[in-house]
Amino acid sequence: MSQPTQKLRLGALIALVVGSMIGGGIFSLPQNMAARADAGAILIGWGITAIGMLTLAFVFQTLANRKPELDSGVYAYAKAGFGDYMGFSSAWGYWISAWLGNVGYFVLLFSTLGYFFPVFGQGNTPIAIGCASVLLWAVHFLVMRGIKEAALINQLTTVAKIIPLIMFVVIAAVAFKADVFTRDIWGRSNPNFGGVMDQVRNMMLVTVFVFIGIEGASVYSARAEKRSDVGRATVIGFIGVLALLVLVNVLSLGIMSQPELATLQNPSLAAVLEHIVGPWGALLISVGLAISLLGALLSWALLCAEILFATARDNTMPAFLKKENANHVPVNALWLTNVMIQIFLLITLFSAGTYTSLIYLASSMILVPYLWSAAYAVLLSGRGETYEHASAERTKDLLIGGIALCYAVWLLYAGGVKYLLLSALLYAPGVILFAKAKHEQGEPLFTTLEKGIFTCVIAGAGLAAYGLYSGVLSL
């Protein structure tokens, strides 16, 4: 994808952020949230998420402006601040999160079709996985033709998915019933929910998943026409998507009660609109979602390949991932990505994994890259690096970075031990590529500190493997 003459303007960067974040998650938000919390806890959770994710958006904006030489975003910050292995781990975790999200999108797409054709079930039946596999390789060869064709399709799908969402917000606002929203606002009639803060904690990974892509402009920062546009696109895109997510979630709670929403098949937004206007509402949302998912699959296929390609260029990943075809597409990175998606589609078939379990795992994998980006912002402002004549800005950025770091740590806690261990199981094999990259550079594998970190990863992976074998853990 090395086309240095093609620069992205502010509008394109905003579209990239919005397009990356609005995939399939928003269309399943009513059920995903209602299964874990009631209205009061959901409002508190969105408040925490708004503050936490906004500070993360500001972190990416600040780092883009203060460290313009770090062109590939997320992983580059971890590498610059905390060494090669943490940089590699951030890139590896971000890449896994991205393609796991695509696995979830395939499952959701065929779950949507299952709404009309029962043979597809919840997107994890044999015929659904077979059709998803055919679509996966169709997208693969489309992307192999070059970025221009893929970008045109992505622009069309971005428009197509926004229209039904806006229509839903308008219709639901008119049909909203305050008595339905407040009927059991704290979820006290459901003993499985626990207290209010338990509900808030349980919904956190869902909010992370719907915001994955907030750093999309940072990943493509080397292609930006103006460096300052990267941060602006991140913040503008975040605010717009946040408003849409909250409206969709909150308005749904005023249309159907929490118990009703919690039992819906995904995409649950289709059933909510059908409840208001009849069958055509479900059809509208389902068509919009199908188009949205096709666009998301395309844009995330490009993003996954870009992550590996960018990290290979600065020797964080092995050199074979730098290979491009005649259309400037990083072919080896794309093949590796889509082979992993295919493997996990098959795992989903045999483990009966659902869309929700996949998005939880994808969300847990993104937490480490987010945490190290926030930590690097704190490190930068704490040292005063690049703040020699800007003490007021340094104090402000230190505060923002500190809040973002606390939020990232809170997310690790909220995700729970299960997903922390499963994440370790996925992080551990990455050492093979890390070792290959180090060998190519003639450098030692680990520093003393990195040996300790890797030992912890291996221990967590071992516990996860035992848990899966014994049946204590499951996808």
Q: Is 299 exposed, middle or buried (0-12, 13-18, 19+ CB in 10 A)?
A: buried
Q: Helix 196-211 vs helix 391-427: angle between axes, to the nearest 10 degrees?
A: 90
Comparing CA positions, the residue from 56, 357, 99, 103 lying closest to residue 205 is: 357
What sign results for the dihedral spanned by CA atoms 67, 411, 404, 49? Answer: positive
CB 293 within 8 A of CB 139: no
Separation CA 310–CA 129 (nearest Å) = 31
Determine the pLDDT at residue 2: 43
CA dist., res. 137 & res. 116, Å (int): 24
Angstrom distance (rounded) from CA 105 to CA 349: 14
Single-letter code of the amino acid located at 416: G
Question: Is 443 buried (19+), middle (13-18) or exposed (0-12) by CB count in 10 A?
Answer: exposed
Residue 370 near residue 363 (C-beta atoms within 8 A) = no
Helix (H) or strand (E) holding 388: none
Burial state string for 113-139 with b = 16 or more CB within 10 A and e = fewer than 16: bbbeeeebbbbbbeebbebbbebbeeb
Long-range own/partner contacts, residues 452-457 (CB < 8 A, 24 or more apart): 453/85, 453/86, 454/85, 456/424, 457/424, 457/427, 457/428
What is the reported pLDDT for 471? 78
The residue type at 197: M
Distances (CA, A) of 229 to 19, 20, 69, 176, 224: 17, 17, 15, 38, 7
- The DSSP-derived string for 30-45 is HHHHHTT--HHHHHHH
317 closest CA partner among 63, 79, 71: 79
CB 435 within 8 A of CB 312: no
pLDDT, residue 5, reads 44
> What is the rounded distance in angstroms from the CA atom of residue 447 to the CA atom of residue 233?
37
pLDDT in tens, the chain (475 residues): 444 445 777 877 777 777 767 777 888 899 999 998 999 999 999 999 999 988 988 888 788 778 888 866 678 899 999 999 999 999 999 899 889 888 888 888 898 888 788 899 888 889 999 999 999 999 888 888 765 555 556 566 777 778 889 999 999 999 999 999 998 899 888 888 888 999 999 888 888 878 876 766 565 666 677 767 777 887 888 888 899 999 999 999 999 999 999 999 878 999 999 999 999 999 999 888 888 787 778 777 877 888 899 889 888 899 999 999 888 889 999 999 999 999 999 988 877 556 677 778 888 888 888 899 999 999 999 999 888 888 889 999 999 999 999 999 998 888 888 888 989 999 999 999 999 999 999 999 999 999 999 999 999 999 999 988 887 777 6
| pLDDT number for residue 3 | 44
Q: What is the pLDDT of residue 265?
A: 84
List all residues 6 or more positions away from 249 whose beta carbon is below 8 Å from its beta carbon: 29, 30, 33, 42, 46
pLDDT value, residue 246: 94
DSSP 8-state class, residue 445:
S
- What pLDDT, on the 0 to 100 scale, is given for residue 1? 41
